[in-house]
Amino acid sequence: IDSESSKNVGANLERITADLKQMRQETASLTAQIADKNS
């Protein structure tokens, strides 16, 4: 049971990390769009 749950934790961490990276990229592109409009 322990090894299964630790595997799931690892998979969840990878998924969360990927989500965070994607959010950061989307935020960066939105920020760039706003900066373009302001300039």
Each residue's pLDDT tens digit, 12-22: 999 999 999 99
Identify the pLDDT of residue 31: 97
Q: How far apart are CA 6 and CA 15, in angstroms?
A: 14
**Stated pTM of the model:** 0.66
Q: Calculate mean pLDDT across residues 14-39.
A: 96
Q: Calculate mean pLDDT across residues 21-38.
A: 96
Identify the pLDDT of residue 39: 82
Structural domains in the chain (count): 1
Q: Which residue has the higher pLDDT, 32 or 39?
A: 32
Question: Could you tell me the residue range of the domain that residue 37 belongs to?
Answer: 1-39
3-state SS, residue 5 = helix
